Amino acid sequence: MKKTVIAALLVMTSIGLAGCWDRKEINDVAFVIGSAVDKEKDLYRSTLQIALPGNLGGAGSEGGGGGTEGSKSYYLESKTGVSLRNSNMEVQAGNSRTLSFAHRRTLLLGEDFARGGISPMLDQFARIPQNRLSFLVAVTSGPAYKILDAEAPMEQFPSEMIRELMNEYSKRPISLKYLANELLSDGVDVSLPYISLQEVEPEDLAKNKKNIQITGLALFKGDRLVGILKGQEAKMMNLALNQAPSPDIMVPGRDGKGFITVKFTENTVKLKPVIRGNNVTMYVDVLVKGSVIENNTDYTLGGGRNMGMLEDRTSKEVVTQIHSGIRLLQDQYHADILGFGRTIQQKKPKDWQRIKDHWEEIYPTVKVVVNTRIHVENIGAVDKPFGRKDKDIKK
């Protein structure tokens, strides 16, 4: 009897060891590692970057697998359709392997597409479980598919290079999940990294190579792209967003000659609203620790007085550039990417209930006061400009 029971248990256990009925062999799967969305008239263009397993071997390796040829580790397929899902299905119709989106790194949105509104594309991402919502999102200068096929010499795929750039640019890179949450939140507008191709060699060289680079912030009002911030204004807005890992700022020399470059090794930004009736004042408190990484002025940095002057000048430069960016946000784009409204909602909910229906009119009139507390704690191994004679240095 005991032997019979044991045999029955063994038979029942073996049932759980059967193979999966819905298995998919890896040789039958096409892994999508990046995608781009563009708009062409009334059609969506979906461009997919698909890994080529046969070309993914390391240095000195001939790779593995079969059925793939060429020098690149990926190839692009691009089709149009009346919806984003329809265009993806058009790509699938011409692919001998089943598309898998579970390993997608990035989603690039073409500038023209983003100006028309990005909400219609979001449904297919949330409805299909295979679409992980952790991939990163950015807006591109011009068609997104061109960025997806750009040179990425340091990485295997352009999508991987873009992901690494976004991780360096932001403390918390914008994923699709975060993007959707911001679009559905009151009192805040979306901003995304703005990516373009930049020259990496002098113009007189024959190859004229271009590289992928984050060159600004794409500003949204609702789900529509309304403008682009570039240069120092974009850098300081990223700081005000509390997203900049370690930005730097160039401070002009005391006599207007040369610059001192200060790198912010630590930075924190806090918002504090003060409301009297419909008059709103937003205090932006910027706390920074920094290090000097270049001094090409004629002045030494030694001594407490000189350091104090450097901190004051750095503070004034930060305040000026943040104010310049905020004026553009309020007066030209009317985009509340810093989340002034959400800050009021969180810290003064009664006031928000009173003014939220008129926030679109109130936001451009908000008075912004930027307070800074900057401490430059490291000036490097020498306190005077390196390579200068003492007689040429001003103290």
Cβ-in-10-Å burial (0-12, 13-18, 19+) of 159 comes to buried
Backbone angles phi, psi at 12, to 5 degrees: -65, -40
Question: Does residue 381 contact residue 388 with C-beta atoms inside 8 Å?
Answer: no
* Residue with the two structure tokens 């997104």: 144
Q: Is the pLDDT of residue 50 over 90?
A: yes
Tell me: do 278 and 375 sit in the same domain.
yes
Query: What is the SS3 assignment for 181-204?
Result: HHHCCCCCCCEEEEEEEEECCCCC
Contact 81, 87 (CB under 8 A): yes
Q: Single out the residue in 172, 207, 231 at which a domain terminates.
A: 231
Does residue 239 lie in a domain region? no
CA distances from 148 to 54, 107, 109, 110, 169 (A): 20, 10, 11, 11, 19
**Segment 238-291, tens digit of pLDDT:** 999 999 999 999 998 877 678 889 999 999 999 999 999 889 999 999 999 999
Decide which of 137 and 379 is more confident.
137
Same domain, 193 and 275: no
Domain boundary among 201, 231, 261: 231
- Same domain for 207 and 260? no
Alpha-helix residue ranges (DSSP H) falling in 45-157 = 84-93, 111-115, 122-127, 144-148
Do 199 and 253 belong to one domain?
no
Residue 321 lies in a domain: yes
Q: What is the CA 249 to chain-centroid distance, rounded? A: 20
Q: Quick check: 96 pLDDT over 80?
A: yes
Residue 133's SS3 state is coil
Same domain, 212 and 279: no
Count of structural domains, the chain: 2
Kindly state whether residues 224 and 263 are assigned to the same domain. no
Q: Are residues 208 and 113 in the same domain?
A: yes
Q: How far apart are CA 330 and CA 358, in angstroms?
A: 15
In a domain, 270, yes or no: yes
Residues 193 and 223 grouped into a single domain: yes
> The pTM is what?
0.86
Quote the domain boundaries for residue 42: 27-58+68-231
13 within a domain of the structure (yes/no): no
Task: Clarify whether residues 219 and 323 are in a common domain.
Answer: no
Residue 306 has what pLDDT?
78
Q: Give 311-337 pLDDT, tens digit per residue.
A: 999 999 999 999 999 999 999 999 999
The reply to whether 241 falls in a domain is no
**3 occurs within a structural domain:** no
Give yes or no: residues 165 and 261 share one domain: no
Quick check: is 311 in a domain? yes
Here the CATH number for the domain that contains residue 321 is 3.30.300.210
DSSP strands (E only) in the chain: 29-40, 43-51, 74-81, 98-100, 106-110, 136-140, 191-199, 210-221, 224-230, 248-252, 259-276, 279-295, 367-378
| Mean pLDDT confidence for 11-40 | 78
Out of 231, 261, 287, a domain closes at: 231
Average pLDDT of the residues in 48-76 = 63
State the amino acid at position 296 in one-letter form.
N
Q: What is the distance between the alpha carbons of residues 270 and 343, in angstroms, rounded to a whole number?
A: 10
Pair 31, 109 in one domain? yes
Q: Please give the Cα distance from 151 to 166 (Å, whole number).
A: 17
Q: Do 111 and 174 fall into the same domain?
A: yes
Please tell me which residue, 221 or 95, carries the higher pLDDT value: 221
Confidence of residue 298 (pLDDT cuts 50, 70, 90): confident
To the nearest whole number, what is the mean pLDDT of the chain? 86
In a domain, 16, yes or no: no
